[in-house]
């Protein structure tokens, strides 16, 4: 069970790091003042599963000071950064742990439905719950490590 929790934690941190690099590149290319600061704030928010909340004011700022074309391209980039979470998380969360992909998928979808604010707890709950359920189904005297 500890390996499952470590895998979920590493997956969340990995996705947040990748998203913050992509967001930082977008901030830098768009010419957003203080791009590094914005990227650090985005990283903290992404770890807390609320990275989108940093992108919204950045997009509003870009629409206020830049041309509509440049701001629209930045908006599209921010949407890609926000949605890449839904692709990377199932890939990274299942690495190294025998958690069924259905559980990882349901955790990602469950978090998406819950507006990504409680995504971390959804995945942990489903991963640990899956392990406990599979252990309960095993005949007595055997364990998952023996299989």
pLDDT digits (tens, 9 = 90+) for 40-63: 999 999 888 888 888 999 999 999
State residue 98's pLDDT score.
61
Of the CA atoms within 13 Å of residue 61, those in its CB half-sphere come to: 14
Buried b (16+ CB within 10 A) or exposed e, 21-47: ebbbebbeebebeebeebbebbbebbb
Q: What is the mean pLDDT of the chain?
A: 76
Contact between residue 133 and residue 9 where contact means Cβ atoms under 8 Å apart: no
By the 8 A CB rule, do 65 and 34 touch? no
Instruction: State the pLDDT at residue 83.
Output: 86
Q: What pTM was estimated for this model as a whole? A: 0.63
């Amino acid at each position: 069970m500890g390996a499952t929790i470590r895998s979920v934690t590493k997956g969340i941190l990995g996705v947040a790091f990748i998203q913050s690099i992509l967001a930082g590149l977008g901030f830098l290319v768009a010419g957003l003042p203080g791009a590094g600061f914005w990227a650090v704030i985005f990283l903290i928010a992404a770890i807390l599963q609320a990275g989108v909340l940093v992108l919204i004011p950045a997009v509003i700022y870009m629409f206020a000071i830049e041309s509509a074309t440049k701001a629209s391209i930045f908006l599209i980039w921010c949407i890609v950064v926000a949605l890449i979470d839904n692709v990377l998380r199932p890939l990274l969360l299942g690495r190294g742990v025998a958690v069924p992909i259905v559980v990882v998928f349901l955790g990602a979808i469950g978090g998406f439905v819950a507006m990504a604010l409680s995504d971390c707890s959804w995945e942990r709950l489903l991963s640990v719950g899956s392990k406990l359920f599979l252990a309960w189904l095993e005949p007595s005297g055997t364990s998952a490590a023996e299989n």
